[in-house]
Amino acid sequence: MTKHDVNGTSKSTIMVTGGSGLVGQAIKSVSEANPKDGETWIFLSSKDGDLRDRKETDAIFDKYKPTHVIHLAAKVGGLFANLKYKVEFYRENTLINDNIMENCRLHKVTKLVSMLSTCIFPDKTKYPIDETMLHDGPPHASNEGYAYAKRLIDTMNRAYAEEYGCNFTSIIPTNIYGPHDNFSIENGHVIPGLIHKCYKAKKDNTPFTIWGSGTPLRQFIYSLDLAELTVWVMRDYHSPDPITLSVDEDTEVPIKDVAYAVAKAMKFEGEVVFDTTKADGQFKKTACNKKLRGLRPDYKFTSMEEGVQKAVDWFLENYETARK
């Protein structure tokens, strides 16, 4: 098998870290829906070992001998956790990433794809943001521990390519939502939080209350679209420079539209209220997907309405076991 070939006749073992989460489960669905001859997929969860620990990470690589790695595992948390535990967010993510990258080098892994985030970009920037701006200034002070640990993945992808000829790269998604999300109202992201909140309002016959004015704009990517594009990056995108995986700029939507889409999908017919005593957060964080569109001009993203309906349906079907 050639260095860049994952479609060849040789056998490939693709190992996904953080395989039990939102994106990991979406990649599992995509890989099962489009199986390729000679490919074996391994989806790791925390039960398989502690990736912060070098010996445990070594043992995972020795056991599965991956030819390709999609690295999604990270220590993540909401605003308050990031503010309070900057040291832990920096150290634990740096340990995880170093253990994964060094094992990929030692085991001569053909391809490593790591996941970054738009929240690690400079706090003071112009919009739309693109891949070239990642290191143009400090991140927001609230999550600098996490952000610098993640930024170093990009730095080390280039360093491993230059020094060892490794084929390591990274992806930068915008706001992700879909099945297997964390639907916690306190700690979840926007869409899963709204879905759970709307469910409760319908059940309790109370107004569906959204914090803030609903005017901030966001780009949302459905988890199975991100999964398809991540697998494509693994197979066909061969540059250490990161690539933004995002819907187009003109599909950026106000939170208000998302809330109404959730209410419609949930068949909620009560009152929808925007609590303007609560802060709105950043007005926009637009990301440019020009690089992606240059390589995949015809890729069709799932619409917000269809994606929200699928996420709501999954939540209702899996209410008892969903993370919330």
Claim: this prediction has a pTM higher than 0.85: yes
CA distances 65 to 42, 83, 103, Å, are 10, 37, 10
Question: Could you say which DSSP state residue 176 is in?
Answer: E
* Structure tokens given for 68: 């390709």
* Structure tokens given for 167: 């084929």
Give the closest residue to 233 by CA, choosing from 73, 66, 14.
14
pLDDT at 6: 52
pLDDT at position 267 over 70: yes
What pLDDT digit, counting tens, does each position of 298-310 carry?
A: 999 999 999 999 9
Phi and psi at residue 121, in whole multiples of 5°? -70, 165
What pLDDT digit, counting tens, does each position of 200-227 carry?
A: 999 999 999 999 999 999 999 999 999 9
Phi and psi at residue 230, in whole multiples of 5°? -65, -45
pLDDT at position 273 over 60: yes
Q: Tokens 């290191």 belong to which residue?
A: 135
146 is catalytic: yes
- Point out which residues pair with 175 in neighbouring strands: 220
The count of C-alpha atoms lying within 13 angstroms of the C-alpha of 150, restricted to the half-sphere facing its C-beta, is 29
Q: Strand (E) positions, the chain?
A: 12-17, 39-43, 68-71, 111-115, 168-173, 175-177, 208-211, 217-218, 220-222, 243-245, 253-254, 272-275
High-pLDDT (> 70) share of the chain, %: 97
Query: Which residue out of 146, 160, 222, 260 is catalytically annotated?
Result: 146
What pLDDT digit, counting tens, does each position of 27-38 carry?
A: 999 999 988 899
What pLDDT digit, counting tens, does each position of 80-117 carry?
A: 788 899 999 999 999 999 999 999 999 999 999 999 99
Chain centroid offset of residue 170 CA: 11
- Per-position DSSP letters for 249-276, written without gaps between them: GGG-EEHHHHHHHHHHHTT--S-EEEET
Chain centroid offset of residue 5 CA: 25
